[in-house]
Structure 1
Amino acid sequence: MSLLDMDLSGVMNNLLNHIHENPSRTHENKENRGISSIPVDILDTPKEYIFFMDLPGLSKSEIQVTVEDENTLVIKSNRKRKRQDSEDEGCKYLRLERRAPQKFLRKFRLPENANVSAITAKCENGVLNVVVEKHTPPPKSKTVEVAIA
């Protein structure tokens, strides 16, 4: 199916789709073992793309947002969970369900109109917001009447 056959949301999903790791690359698999994939919401507005990720318990110093290969947005963390053991002897956890994100890595191929030099990121109340501004579209062509002299 060509891009012309897809609707606009299909095109955006294709362009902003998560880049999956290639399982045949064994050195990457060993390097990325234990890395989780965090769900993300992507909002397409007239002026920007906004990425939303829930990252409870992470501080801004534990999150890295970069651009690779001029058009790939990379969001990652190498945080390791710290266990809060009790000071009392003989105490142990019976259940650990509140797992904050540990290591994670997400990559997104950005559309051509993304302005990679105008990206901002902030983490507030456990939610990471990454804003990628769009380039202003070129002016639409204008028809000029030709005068005959």
Structure 2
Amino acid sequence: MRRNPFNDIEEMLDRVSRQVEEGMTAGGLQVPGSVPVDVADTGEEYVVTADLPGYETDDIDLTLSDGTLRLEANRTGEAEYAEGRYLRRERTETSASRRIRLPEPVDEEAVAAGFENGVLTVRLPKVSGSDDSKRIDIE
């Protein structure tokens, strides 16, 4: 008995549809070359955590402009293997990037970043409200 090729196509489309739905409910789809991030709002600050395994601190470029945090990471592979020759070479030049739009202004002078065990953490304190508030008496 011959298999119907349309059944295979329909199964594949169902599988892709499920993956898209799961990706959307998990907080978004992962785009190739995009850095997976978590963005938390603690009330006082935004904390952005990004997974960058295999990168060094010097490979990462962070900029903040017009309320958007831009993260770019570039790693170049070594041209030669010091202890012999390559039999397979898949870990060569790699780059990843991500732009994160922040919902509120942040204190650009107080932004701090740390990188440990392949995880980048950026702390972006929110701009505090004006102290020129006026108490309103209720009559």
Give the TM-score normalised by the residue count of structure 2: 0.62
Q: 1:142 aligns with which of 123, 135, 139?
A: 135
Contact kept, 8 Å, 1:56 with 1:101, in 2: the verdict is: no
State the shift of 1:122 in Å: 0.8
> What residue ranges of structure 1 are gaps of 5+ in the alignment?
1-16, 21-34
Q: Which has the larger Rg? A: 2
Query: Any idea what the Cα deviations from partners look like across 1:97-123, whole Å, max 9, x if unmatched?
Result: xx5992111111222332223211110
Greater helix share, 1 or 2? 2
**Range 75-84 or range 126-135, more displaced:** 75-84
Give the TM-score normalised by the residue count of structure 1: 0.58
Equivalent-residue separation in structure 1 for 2:92 and 2:127 (angstroms): 35
> How many residue pairs were aligned?
109
Task: Give the alignment's Cα RMSD to 1 decimal.
Answer: 3.2
> What residue ranges of structure 2 are gaps of 5+ in the alignment?
1-27
Equivalent-residue separation in structure 2 for 1:47 and 1:101 (angstroms): 38
Q: CA separation of 1:135/1:101 partners in 2, compared to 1, >3 Å: closer, same or farther?
A: farther
3-state SS in 2 of match to 1:117 = helix
Determine what percentage of the aligned residue pairs are the same residue: 32
Q: 1:132 aligns with which of 117, 124, 136?
A: 124
3-state SS in 1 of match to 2:107 = strand
Q: CA separation of 1:83/1:66 partners in 2, compared to 1, >3 Å: closer, same or farther?
A: same
State the shift of 1:78 in Å: 2.2
Which gives a bigger RCO, structure 1 or 2 (Cα 8 Å, sep 6+)? 1
